[in-house]
């Protein structure tokens, strides 16, 4: 997600974006994304990439992945558990 906001509405838009992430993305996924962003600052690109692939493959076996597919197909809000 890449966005540019004018200075006048910057904080408002940042809060809106954070709220959107908090309400539409699995807590497990957000936790992993945050960890990967911080760790990647000190990792070689190849290592960061390998870790991201492993995390993505692990994601496919989670309850939240199944819920993500189900809520999309059923056109309803997600009920993520973080598991």
User: What is the DSSP secondary-structure string of 5-29?
Assistant: --GGGHHHHHHHHHHHHHHHS-HHH
> Using an 8 Å Cβ cutoff, are 42 and 63 in contact?
no
| pLDDT above 90 for 3 | no
| C-alpha torsion sign, points 66, 70, 73, 79 | negative
Q: Which residue has the tokens 């890449």?
A: 2
Residue 37 located in a structural domain: yes
Chain segment 17-27, per-residue pLDDT in tens: 889 888 888 99
Specify the pLDDT at position 22. Answer: 84
Q: How many domains does the chain have?
A: 1
Please tell me the distance from the alpha carbon of residue 56 to that of residue 32, in angstroms, as a whole number: 10
Chain segment 31-65, per-residue pLDDT in tens: 999 999 999 999 999 999 999 999 999 999 999 99
22 Cα distance to chain centroid: 9
Residue 2 located in a structural domain: no
Q: Tell me the residue range of the domain where 32 lies.
A: 7-62
Q: What's the pTM value of the predicted model, to 2 decimals? A: 0.71
Residue 58 located in a structural domain: yes
């Amino acid at each position: 997600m890449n966005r540019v906001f004018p200075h006048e509405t910057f904080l408002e838009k940042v809060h809106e974006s954070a709220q959107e992430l908090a309400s539409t993305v699995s807590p497990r996924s957000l936790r992993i994304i945050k960890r990967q962003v911080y760790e990647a600052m000190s990792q070689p690109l190849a290592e960061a990439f390998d870790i991201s692939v492993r995390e993505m493959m692990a994601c496919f076996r989670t309850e939240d992945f199944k819920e993500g597919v189900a809520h999309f197909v059923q056109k309803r809000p997600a009920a993520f558990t973080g598991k």
